[in-house]
C-alpha cells in the first residue's frame, strides 16, 4: 500500500473516478499513557506540518499552472504533495486516537506503519482545475463541520479511549470516516485526484473485490451506531459554527459611550 504510485503512460489515466484510499490497521488496545499525553507528544509533528504546509502551498500554485497546461500534475509535484498529504493524515490519525503507534518523521512511511493512503496520478480536467476553489466549497463545508464537530466533543472521545484502553468500534468507524473524507477533500484540493470527495457515510462490502487489498477502512463499513455518531459530529459542527459566529458578532458590536 503505497502513498503515491507514479505510472506514466496511458494506463495512468484509466480510472478517472478512482477515489483516494485510507488504510488504517485498528489496534486491539492502546497504551493509556500515550493516550493521556497524545497531543503533547505530537507537538514536534505539528511544527513540521506547519513548515510543510508552507512548502505545499507554493507547490500547489506551481502545480495549478502546470495542470492547466498539461492536464495533470508533473511527477515531482505529485510525489511531494502525496507525501505531504500522507504525513498530514498519519499525524491526524494519531491525534484523533485511531492508532497508538507514533508517526514517523518521513513523507514515505515504513511499510508496516498502520496508517497509509493511496493516491494515483490521474488526468485532470482543465476546467475543473481552473475553478477548483469554487468547486470545493460544498465539500469544504461538510469537511469543516464534521471535523469541528469531532473536536468539539474531543474530550469525551479522549476520556472514553483513556478509560477503556481502546476506541469503541462505532467511534472508530465514525472517526475514520471523518479522517478519510478530510483526506479525500485535501487530495481534491491538492489536485492529486479529479474525483470529488464522497463516501462520508461509508460503503458496502461489495465496493472492494475480495481479491483486492483490504483493511479496517477498505472498505469502510459503518454500523448504524457509527452513522449516528457521524450525524452527531455534523450537528455539533453546526452548533459550534453558530456559537462562534454569534460570539464574534457580539464582540464586534460597538458599545455605547458613557
Q: How confident is the model at residue 134 (pLDDT cuts 50, 70, 90)?
A: very high
Q: What is the mean pLDDT of residues 47-61?
A: 97
What lies within 8 Å, CB to CB, of 62 at 6+ separation is 77
Alpha-carbon distance of 178 to 176, in angstroms, equals: 5
Residues 167-223: tens digit of each pLDDT: 999 999 999 999 999 999 999 999 999 999 999 999 877 667 666 777 878 889 999
Instruction: Quote helix, strand, coil % in the chain, to nearest 5.
Output: 60, 5, 35
Alpha-carbon distance of 65 to 59, in angstroms, equals: 10
Amino acid 34: pLDDT: 96
Tell me, what DSSP letter sits at residue 197? P
Amino acid 3: pLDDT: 62
Among 233, 243, 241, 242, which Cα is nearest to 146's? Answer: 233
Q: How far apart are the first and last CA of the chain?
A: 67
Amino acid 254: pLDDT: 62
Alpha-carbon distance of 61 to 218, in angstroms, equals: 32
Tell me, what DSSP letter sits at residue 257? P
What lies within 8 Å, CB to CB, of 104 at 6+ separation is 90, 110, 113
Amino acid 4: pLDDT: 52
Judged by average pLDDT, the poorest of 27-31, 237-241, 251-255 is: 251-255
Residues 65-120: tens digit of each pLDDT: 999 999 999 999 999 999 999 999 999 999 999 999 999 999 998 889 999 999 99
Using the predicted structure, report yes or no on whether residue 229 has a pLDDT greater than 60.
yes
Tell me, what DSSP letter sits at residue 223? -
> Residue 2 CB: number of other CB atoms within 10 A?
15
Handedness of CA 192, 193, 196, 202 (dihedral sign): negative
Q: What is the mean pLDDT of residues 135-153?
A: 97
Q: How confident is the model at residue 9 (pLDDT cuts 50, 70, 90)?
A: very low
For the chain, give every domain's residue range: 10-239
Among 109, 92, 113, 97, which Cα is nearest to 37's? Answer: 97
Contact 135, 195 (CB under 8 A): no
Chain centroid offset of residue 182 CA: 3
Amino acid 211: pLDDT: 65
Q: What is the mean pLDDT of residues 224-244?
A: 94
Using a 10 angstrom Cβ sphere, with 0-12 exposed, 13-18 middle and 19 or more buried, the burial of residue 254 is exposed
Using the predicted structure, report yes or no on whether residue 245 has a pLDDT greater than 50.
yes
Handedness of CA 30, 34, 35, 36 (dihedral sign): positive
Amino acid 253: pLDDT: 64
Contact 120, 15 (CB under 8 A): yes
Amino acid at each position: 500500500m503505497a502513498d503515491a504510485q507514479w505510472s506514466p503512460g496511458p494506463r495512468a489515466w484509466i480510472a478517472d473516478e478512482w477515489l483516494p484510499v485510507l488504510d488504517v490497521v485498528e489496534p486491539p488496545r492502546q497504551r493509556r499513557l500515550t493516550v493521556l499525553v497524545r497531543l503533547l507528544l505530537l507537538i514536534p509533528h505539528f511544527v513540521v506540518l506547519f513548515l510543510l504546509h508552507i512548502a505545499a502551498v507554493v507547490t500547489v500554485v506551481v502545480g495549478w499552472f502546470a495542470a492547466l497546461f498539461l492536464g495533470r500534475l508533473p511527477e515531482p509535484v505529485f510525489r511531494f504533495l502525496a507525501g505531504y498529504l500522507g504525513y498530514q493524515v498519519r499525524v491526524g490519525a494519531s491525534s484523533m486516537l485511531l492508532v497508538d503507534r507514533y508517526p514517523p518523521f518521513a513523507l514515505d512511511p515504513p511499510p508496516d506503519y498502520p496508517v497509509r493512503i493511496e493516491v494515483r496520478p490521474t488526468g485532470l480536467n482543465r476546467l475543473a482545475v481552473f475553478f477548483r476553489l469554487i468547486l470545493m466549497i460544498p465539500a469544504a463545508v461538510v469537511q469543516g463541520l464534521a471535523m469541528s464537530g469531532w473536536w468539539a466533543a474531543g474530550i469525551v472521545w479522549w476520556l472514553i479511549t483513556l478509560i477503556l484502553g481502546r476506541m469503541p468500534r462505532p467511534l472508530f468507524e465514525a472517526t475514520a470516516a471523518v479522517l478519510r473524507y478530510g483526506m479525500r477533500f485535501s487530495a481534491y484540493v491538492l489536485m492529486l485526484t479529479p474525483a470529488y470527495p464522497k463516501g462520508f457515510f461509508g460503503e458496502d462490502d461489495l465496493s472492494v473485490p475480495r481479491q483486492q487489498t483490504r483493511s479496517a477502512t477498505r472498505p469502510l463499513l459503518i454500523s448504524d451506531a457509527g452513522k449516528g455518531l457521524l450525524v452527531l459530529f455534523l450537528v455539533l459542527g453546526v452548533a459550534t459554527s453558530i456559537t462562534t459566529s454569534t460570539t464574534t458578532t457580539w464582540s464586534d458590536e460597538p458599545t455605547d459611550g458613557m
